[in-house]
Structure 1
Amino acid sequence: MAASAAPCAGHRQGRRQRLELLGLAAVAALLLSRPDLATLAAGLGLFLWGMTLLEDAIKRLSGGTLDRWLHTATSHPGRAIGVGALATALVQSSSLITLLAMSFVSAGLVALPGAIALLFGANLGTTTGAWLIASFGLRFELAHYAMPLLALGLLGRYRLSGSLAGIAGLLLGIGLLFLGIDFMKLGFEAWQDGIRLDGLAGDRSWHWPLFVLVGVVATVVMQSSHATLLLTLTALASGQLSYLPALAIAIGANIGTTVTAVLGALSAGIAARRLAGAHVIFNLVTAAVALILLVPLASLVDIVAELVGLAETAWPLKLALFHTMFNLLGIGLMLPWISRLADLLERHFPEPARLPLTQARHLDSAALNHADTAVSAMEQECRRLERRAYHLLCTAILLPSAEVIGHPPQRSTVEARIEPDAWPLVNARYHDRIKPLLAEILAFQARIDVPLTEAQQHQLEALQARSLRMVEAVRFGEVLQRSFLRHAAPVSPLREAHDDLRLAVAIGLNRLAEGEEGLAITAPIEEIRGHWQNELAKRLREHHLDPWLASSLMNDLHQASRLAAALAEPTPARS
């Protein structure tokens, strides 16, 4: 049955590829027959490409500065809104700020209410794109400025490295944005005598939801509200689109931005899904209010435009003003409800009651988008691995972890009766709880592909080194446990030495948990090792100990020393 399913899947894939090729051929034929559409499509492609390069360059040049700035800002809702708006205005990408906020929430760096406020600010900040395009992009021949930027960006991108290459990427992205805007202007000018979008407009109320839907679909397809607004502004400026439909499309573009958050949350954890839900609710509520009040808001825009000295026919600038005003209205409506919204989302997206023991809790894919969140996720998961290793090492020396961690271990606990059947085998627990989690940690670290500061790189190296040392110690503990269980009987000739050794290891673990390192951890074990090496020689001479048992004890002492050395090994210094 599986064999028959494979050819069917291959057939479906082949049919899909043929349909895609036919679709591309049809689009190519259309663009070849309509140079105006080809110019418009080329401009849109260049604009989206420029946005992608610009976002990537900003992430690389920030070197974690943007991450820390936004993290600090989320302590107060008002500050979070302001910083979210400013950050989005600077990077011209609400998607970047949205994904960053999702990363912070997933990594546990910020609380949900602060991240929600940050998203409110990002929605406001994205309106600056409409202002820039309406103010400059539609008034100047941007291709004239694009060419030197493209030349510098292309040369620098392939000839330079480090931060200079990042600056070159920034110039290349800006140049492509400029060229894309200019191409779209040319496309709409050439299209002026063809299909007219304003023929779809009307004065009836049911027209506005249709244009909102156009804005939603355009933003979802292009994955950029800036691109939708650019198309709308250029169509409005060239007379292809009338004023009120353009306002409705701008409302739809706001709704369409939620798709980025929803798609980002699909592969993320519960916290990111809550934030995506907040983004959807905010944009839907804002859009509904703006659509209901479309005509009154348009009249208010006319009044404000007249007060600030805008011309009556400055439709692109009026659209930018409308875009800002209805986002401000949405923030004003939703700001008092942030805490309740966060509570509602936490109830509807509860944490799972119990995760599988082998599953990582903090290694969310959303955390990979930014340096701080990636390092924080690694740190939290390594701490989980470390706690499991502590418990397993206590199991290896046949002592409850509560008697080892938190207060100095007592000899009376070590000398208590041992029930071998009560202790799970370290080897089985290692394969169930330690190895799978270590594999996830190493795989996550290998996927980190964002610029890291020297301190962040050093922190990741230290976390990995400490985790590997703890796992190595567990493997030594596995060997010790087998010997301790074989000689657990009170009458065993090795019980006395084993009790001394178990207590010494327990003291080392206790000190390690308290933050001590080096000799503080190895000294108790080395002291016991030296004592029993002398004692073994004496008992062998006096025939009080079997040579076979003596060799077993020597091996146990050696394994304990290796365990202590693994725990005490200092983190490698960065040269």
Structure 2
Amino acid sequence: MNDIFSLFIIYISLFLFGMTVMRQGLIQLQGRKLSVILQKAVDHPGKGMLLGAVVTALLQSSSAVMVITVGLVASKVISFRHSIGIILGANIGTVITLEILAFDLSWLIFPLLLLGVPLIMTKSQLLFCTGCFLFGFSSIIVAMHGFEALAYPLSSVPAVYDWLLTANSHEVVSITIGILLSAVIQSSSAVTAIAMSFMNETLLTLPGGIGIMLGANLGTCATAWLSSLGGSKESKLTAYAHIWLNLFGIFLFFPFIQLFAAIVGNLGSSPAQQLAHATLIYNVICSLIVFPFLEPFSKFLQWIHRTPLTEYPLK
């Protein structure tokens, strides 16, 4: 049993390592351009939402974009109210990873490694960053197949089996599991990818997977919150906004998880694709609902956290 859990932890580490290598390659390639791009979103929340989605899709990490955004707000480059649009976009952009991983990409592992490893050893920054992206992505694919290979061995452990049964029958439990796992791993994509692997092996139902996904989106907010500690009141409000937006999503979708699962169950040929589509639909709907009410939402946050700000209204 210890060997199974050790392998599981190794595959989680490999998944996070792959995402980190991909992200670092892209960040080095762009230099400070990412911060400049986000700065340009300051004049309109709609532009911020779009750029937040694009930058997050490139970095494959909403947490990284949130940390950058919190830093820009703390340095007063971006106002708190305009940062909300970036947060909405970041929630949408992070889904790209899951949509890609929902397909069987095992045939890409060796070609990506054969191309990526030599490129990492080159002195050219462009080739090095390209190699990081290819090597990191291949590591993520290997980790995904590792999750699927360990799904049945893990389910044979009584504690894990009971956990799966409870998650399948009680949405509150599945959401709680998602929150805890994401808060520890610090990656909603990794937690949702694990759920996708268990679903592909018919060990986790779609409603259970959706519950874990909802919780994972909230649990990953811990990264931005930790980065805001010791910062300005505006940066703390930005982190709180990320938390409240994901809380809103949970309260909005929780009563309809079964209905939502029945709908998205017809949108994909595999359980993994269905959960990936559910994640995309969930984040798009939540962002579109909140977007017209950014001004009242920002005032609500200032009121509930007793942090009044003097800022111009949203354009």
TM-score by length of 1: 0.50
- The answer to whether the 8 Å contact 2:121/2:128 transfers is no
- Note if contact 2:74-2:231 (Cα within 8 Å) is conserved in structure 1: yes
Q: 1:153 to 1:217 in 2, by over 3 A?
A: farther
Once the two structures are superposed, what CA deviation does each residue of 1:205-262 show, in whole Å capped at 9, x if it has no partner? xx11111000011111111111101111111111221221111101111111211111
8 Å contact 1:265–1:273 — kept in the other structure?
Answer: yes
Q: Which residue of 2 aligns with 1:105?
A: 73
Q: TM-score, normalised by structure 2?
A: 0.87
Provide the secondary structure at the position in 1 that maps to 2:307. Answer: coil
Give me the whole-angstrom Cα distance separating, in 2, the residues matched to 1:123 and 1:212.
Answer: 17
Q: 1:171 aligns with which of 134, 141, 145?
A: 134
In structure 2, the partner of 1:297 is 260
Alignment partners' CA distance in 1, 2:211 and 2:77: 37
Say if 1:51 and 1:177, in contact at 8 Å, map to a contact too.
yes
Q: Is the contact made by 1:105 and 1:271 (CA closer than 8 Å) also made in structure 2?
A: yes
Structure 1: tracts of 5 or more residues without a match: 1-29, 353-575
Matched, 1:128 2:91: no
Larger deviation, residues 294-303 vs 106-115:
294-303
Alignment match of 1:246 (pick from 201, 205, 209): 209
Q: CA deviation at 1:193?
A: 5.3
Q: Deviations over 1:159-196 (max 9, x none)?
A: x2645443443333223223322322332255465554
Partner of 2:194: 231
Runs of at least 4 residues off by over 6 Å: none
Q: Please say if 1:335 is aligned against 2:298.
A: no
Q: CA deviation digits over 1:90-135, x for unaligned, max 9? A: 2111011111111221121122222101101100111222211112
Secondary structure (helix, strand or coil) at the match of 1:299 reads: helix
Give SS of 1:328's match. Answer: helix
2:173 to 183, 206, 210: 210
What does residue range 385-464 of structure 1 map to in structure 2 within 5 Å? none
Q: Secondary structure at the match of 1:209?
A: helix
**Over residues 367-413 of structure 1, what are the superposed CA-to-partner deviations in whole Å (9 max), with x where a residue is unaligned?**
xxxxxxxxxxxxxxxxxxxxxxxxxxxxxxxxxxxxxxxxxxxxxxx
Identical counterparts, % of pairs: 23
- Paired with 1:301 and 1:243, the residues of 2 have a C-alpha distance of 9
Give the counterpart of 2:307 among 344, 350, 357: 350
Match of 1:279 among 242, 252, 276: 242
Q: Which residues of structure 2 form unaligned runs of 5+?
A: 310-315
- The answer as to whether partners of 1:274 and 1:346 remain within 8 angstroms in 2 is yes
- The answer to whether structure 1 residue 37 and structure 2 residue 2 are counterparts is no
In structure 1, C-alpha distance between the alignment counterparts of 2:201 and 2:112, rounded to whole Å = 22
Once the two structures are TM-superposed, the CA of residue 69 in structure 1 deviates from its matched residue by 1.6
Q: 1:104 to 1:189 in 2, by over 3 A?
A: same
Amino acid at match of 1:83: L
Structure 1 or 2: more helix by fraction? 2
Please name the residue that 1:320 is paired with: 276
Instruction: Give CA-to-partner distance per residue, 1:304-360, whole Å, 9 cap, x none.
Output: x2xxxx43xx211111111112212211332222112222334535379xxxxxxxx
Contact 1:150 1:176 in 2 (8 A): no
Instruction: Please state how far the C-alpha of 1:44 moved relative to its aligned partner.
Output: 1.2
- Code of the residue aligned with 1:71 in structure 2: it is Q
* C-alpha RMSD of the superposition: 2.4
Structure of higher RCO (CA pairs closer than 8 Å, 6+ residues apart): 2
Contact 1:143/1:178, CA 8 A, preserved across alignment:
yes
Q: Which amino acid aligns with 1:79?
A: K
